Each structure stands twice: as structure tokens, then as C-alpha cells.
Amino acid sequence: MAIITIVGSGMMGSALAFPARENGHEVRLVGTHLDREIIDTCRKTNRHPKFNTDFPAGVRFYQIEELEEALSGADLIIGGVSSFGVDWFGDYVLPRIADGSRVLTVTKGLMDTADGQLLTYPALWQQKLDTMGKKLHLTAVGGPCTSYELVAHDQTEVAFCGKDLAVLQEIKAMMQTDYYHISLSTDVTGIESAVALKNGYALGIALTIGLNQKAFGLDSELHFNSQAAVFGQASREMYRLLQLQNVEDMNNLWVGVGDLYVTVYGGRTRLVGILLGRGLDIDEARAELNGVTLESLVVAVRVARAVRIRAQKGDINLKELPLLMHVDEILTNHAAVSIPWEDFTFIQA
């Protein structure tokens, strides 16, 4: 039996308590400073306030002040914070983790730099560790997985990525179940970039749903031609951006495309895309979804900002990314939705 400590009691971090505990491990779920009410509820009811299923018996719950106790003796630490908590996790949690420990993050996103590079969160954290003189085994999970479906034991396939295959195999042995299936990859940049890129593109696809509701009514039938057209363009642009990232294996696009599908059909990104498609501007959409975390918006803006810099250097042509550029115009400059359909067409001889 291993000790698995999950830091961050959001939905995905909490969902991973299910396969971990069902595999017989001791599981400690720690709330961040923003999760106090969640942990109080978990302690009282043994259920996350967003789930309809009790935690497996034996999961233990900790407030952030009890972090060091929860980390003591842990064989695996899972980072369950949102992308808005990346710096906090790097500055507050990583220094408290024992040297040589295994860390698995569920946080999806990319950070852009002044010279147009896009850093994965494990790369960002590795920079912090290097300045500390600290060694941890940083790994990450990517792929099409919604938290509530994982809790419901829906068949799910993801990828764990990290630089050390032996470490990945150890973590897989801790977490895999008959419903949670895990591929392994040492291409951290490929896996992490693919699952981060899908966020902005899922918003782009959801725009078509809102446009059709605006044209035909809120209760009109779904129109799949337009969704499929944007989905196809999104896949092409994600492929090109992975090339720009110099990933090791382009086959790892599968985790991003699968995650794109899941995100389009459920979640917060779908909601904001629909509202924008109906005619709201980004400020009005944010107000409509007051209190909802919109990580997809951050990723899209960062990636667009980076590729504009890379385009100036001649590394990429922005005409290859018409969907990303339009999404950025909507988010950054409050542009009206006007999907550039003809820019998606091509001639192949």
C-alpha cells in the first residue's frame, strides 16, 4: 500500500482519489487556501460538494494548514490545482515536498515567454526546482477525462508523461484500474501541449453552437456540419502548433484531439463559447458565468501572443492559424464572432 497525497480539492484532483483509494492506497486530500469549505463538506459528508457519489471509505481530508502532515511519508503527490494556482503550487507546495518524491500534476496549460516560447507547467516547475537545488520526479496526466465521469467509473483512457519511464510505470501501477486506463510517454512537451491547446479550440467549436442558436432559436436542433468543420480546422492547427513546439512524437496529438471532443460536449468552455456565439462580448459572457473558472481563455490568449512573436521571427505564418487568431480577437479585442470559413479551405495538389 502506498500513501498518495492530493493537494487541491477541485473536481479533478478529488476525482483521482477514487482510483487511488480503490486500489487500496492511503489517500490524503488536502484543500488549498481557497478550498476550506470543500474540505469542511468532505469531512462532514464524505462527499465532494460537486459530486453525487461518496468518496471510497477511508479517504482522509486536510486543510492547508495541515499540509506538512499530509505530505509526510507520501509515495506520490498529486497536484490538483487549476492553472491559476500554478505559481502558488510551485512556490508553496514544491518546497515542502521531500527530495526524490514523485509528483503527478493534473493541471493543463502553457505559459508564454517574452521570446514567444510556450512552456509546459512541469518545465516551469523544473525551473523553480533548479533554483532551489531540489530534485523531484515531475510527471503529468493528460487526455480526455472529465472528473464526474471518472467518479462514475466511465471507461477512461489518459496518458501519464514524464522523463523517467520507470517512475511512470510505478505511478501507473498505483493508479490504473479496470476503468482508468493509462498510456505512458516520455514526450512531456507533446502530451502537455496537446491537452493545453485543446482549450482555446474547444471554445472556437462551441461558437458554432451559439451562432446556430442565434439564427434558429435556443431550442433548435444541433447543427453538426459547422461544428465538424471547426473541429477539423482545430485539429489541423493543433498539429501545426505541436510542430512549432518541436514535440518528440506527433502521434501524441491523440490526447489533445480526444480531450477536445470531451471539452466541446461538456464543461465551462462550451458554455462561454455558446454565449459568445449568441452575440455576447467576452465581458458580458464572463458576467453571465460569474464565479466560473475559465482556464480556456487564458490558454488561448497566451498561445496567440506567443505565436505572434514567433511569426515575426519567421517561425510560423499566422495564415496557418485562422481559428486561433479569430478566437484571440474575440477574447483580446472584443471582436464579434465571424468565423473565417474560407480561410479554412485549401488546395492540395
Residues 140-165: tens digit of each pLDDT: 999 999 999 999 999 999 999 999 99
All residues at 6 or more sequence positions from 296 whose CB lies less than 8 Å from its CB, including other chains: 199, 200, 202, 203, 263, 268, 269, 272
Residue 266 is predicted with a pLDDT of 77
Kindly state the cell numbers that stand for 126: 523544473
Q: For the segment 271-300, what is each residue's pLDDT rounded down to a tens digit?
A: 999 999 999 999 999 888 886 667 778 999
Residue 116 is predicted with a pLDDT of 97
122 to 34, 87, 138, 172: CA distances (angstroms): 22, 11, 6, 18
**Grid-cell match 496549460, residue found:** 109
CA distance 200 to 202: 6
Which of these ranges, 198-202, 232-236, 318-322, 327-331, has the smallest mean pLDDT?
198-202
Which of these ranges, 244-253, 263-272, 275-284, 302-311, has the smallest mean pLDDT?
263-272
Domains of the chain: 3-186 (3.40.50.720), 190-344 (1.10.1040.10)
